[in-house]
Amino acid sequence: MAKKISGVARKRNGRAKEIPAKRTGKTSKKGAKLNSLLIDASLDGDLSRMRRLLRQGADVNFRNGVGMTALSLSAWKGYTEACRLLVESGADPNWKDIHGETALHMAELSMHRETIEYLRSLNE
């Protein structure tokens, strides 16, 4: 049985199963897989895997089925270094999910002070 967590269904084995997003352009099967793996890595805060996936062409601004990006998920989990990596790789910190929440809002909801401070510094 999967448990839904912010647009991502968590399976019992701890892996995330992405809820399909509506796409405006075509994404290859490889690209879609890379994007899904980037979402997984962002939930785990796995920096080395995130770097590898970004080098391989994962879309840093890919949105899952509820509009959440790897950045918003990393912010929600409080992974400040992951947020920094994603922003440095071109992630847009101002993108909103379907509920109007940005990465900063996600960090504030989960009360991750260091992540909140980092994301606020981007708007100064």
Q: Which of 13-22, 47-56, 77-86, 98-107 has the lowest mean pLDDT?
A: 13-22
pTM of the model: 0.78
Q: What mean pLDDT is predicted for residues 50-70? A: 94
Fold annotation for 28-121: 1.25.40
- Bridge partners of 5? 8
Say yes or no to pLDDT of 10 above 50. no
Question: Taking the domains of the chain in order of start, what are their residue ranges?
Answer: 28-121
CA gap 55, 53 in Å, rounded: 5
pLDDT of residue 36: 93
Q: Amino acid identity, residue 30?
A: K
Q: What mean pLDDT is predicted for residues 40-64? A: 96
pLDDT digits (tens, 9 = 90+) for 69-118: 999 999 999 999 999 999 999 999 999 999 999 999 999 999 999 999 99
The dihedral region occupied by 47, where left means phi > 0, alpha psi between -120 and 50, and beta the remainder, is alpha
Decide which of 83 and 8 is more confident.
Answer: 83
